[in-house]
Structure 1
Amino acid sequence: MTINPVLIKSSFALVEPHGVAVAGYFYDYLFEHHPAVRDLFAEHIDEQRDLLWAALGTLVARLDDTETLQRVLRDLGARHAGYGALVDHFPAVGESLLATLAHHAGDAWTEETEASWTALYGVISDTMGQALTSAHQYRR
């Protein structure tokens, strides 16, 4: 699978106007399908929802700037270590992200779009996971 920046950006442009609803759907899906991760989050998710949406927007905007994208992802991974996140949580987040984007993109969500987002999430989870693992090891 390869990342198609045109598909990533065009599909994100479809869901972007619905930011708060999209981020809310993401957390609803995540907590419904993976309730074990709920304890990692504050009771009121509003701030986290806004942070998620901002981070996703930054990643899509920086998609063509590999160096910046890698730096942002490493920073996110290291920060998530402090929240108690584990690499084992990443598949649940990826599933929730794809389900959320598919739901909000509607008929524009194609197999090619899903494959591209899946490939992008692979890069996201690998890069964040390496930084998260390093941060956990450093804290020991």
Structure 2
Amino acid sequence: MDPALIKSSFSAVQPHGTDVTAYFYDHLFEHHPEVRGLFAEHLDEQRDRLWAALGAVVSNLEDTPTLVGMLQNLGRRHAGYGALPAHYPAVGASLIATLEHFAGDAWTPEVEASWAAAYAVISSTMIDAAAAAGDPIPVG
């Protein structure tokens, strides 16, 4: 995982703002309709949360304690929403497809490999935190 590649490619994606998260959810639900039930009918707030989380992850790539704490909290919260370890690959595939779509010329095989490595760490940290918590954190 190369933080510089991730940051530069995310900088290329950022100007697209809410189009990024709209595309992500469209892609996710088109390719993995089985996860649609985990989300509210209207996704405006969820899109904002996703955008904020992506920005926070990218900003904290080199601050391991902050990043790990944030991801552990997200993992526990997602378990409370019904997210299962089996859902994470679908999310990762849609995230990579979305970033590739919006990054333009900034997207290279090296960037893709770096994002894939980053998502592997992100998802495993979230899954491990959810598993360690035992019972899901109540939602609401």
TM range (shorter): over 0.9
Do the aligned partners of 1:63 and 1:69 also contact (CA within 8 Å) in 2?
yes
Q: 5 Å matches for 1:1-140?
A: 3-135=1-133, 137-139=134-136
Do the aligned partners of 2:9 and 2:111 also contact (CA within 8 Å) in 1?
yes
How far, CA to CA, are the matches of 1:130 and 1:15 in structure 2?
29
Larger mean Cα displacement after TM superposition, 105-114 or 27-36: 105-114
How far, CA to CA, are the matches of 1:97 and 1:10 in structure 2?
16
SS of equivalent residue, structure 1 residue 138: coil
Do the aligned partners of 2:12 and 2:104 also contact (CA within 8 Å) in 1?
no
How far, CA to CA, are the matches of 2:17 and 2:91 in structure 1?
17
Do the aligned partners of 1:87 and 1:132 also contact (CA within 8 Å) in 2?
no
How far, CA to CA, are the matches of 2:128 and 2:52 in structure 1?
22
How far, CA to CA, are the matches of 1:80 and 1:138 in structure 2?
12
Structure 2: which 5+ residue stretches go unaligned? Answer: none
Do the aligned partners of 1:87 and 1:133 also contact (CA within 8 Å) in 2?
no
Identical-residue share of aligned pairs (%): 65
RMSD of aligned C-alpha atoms?
0.8
How far, CA to CA, are the matches of 2:75 and 2:52 in structure 1?
15
Give the alignment's TM-score, normalised by structure 2. Answer: 0.95
The one-letter amino acid paired with 1:138 is: D
Give the alignment's TM-score, normalised by structure 1. Answer: 0.95
Q: State the aligned residue count.
A: 136
The one-letter amino acid paired with 2:88 is: F
The one-letter amino acid paired with 1:129 is: I
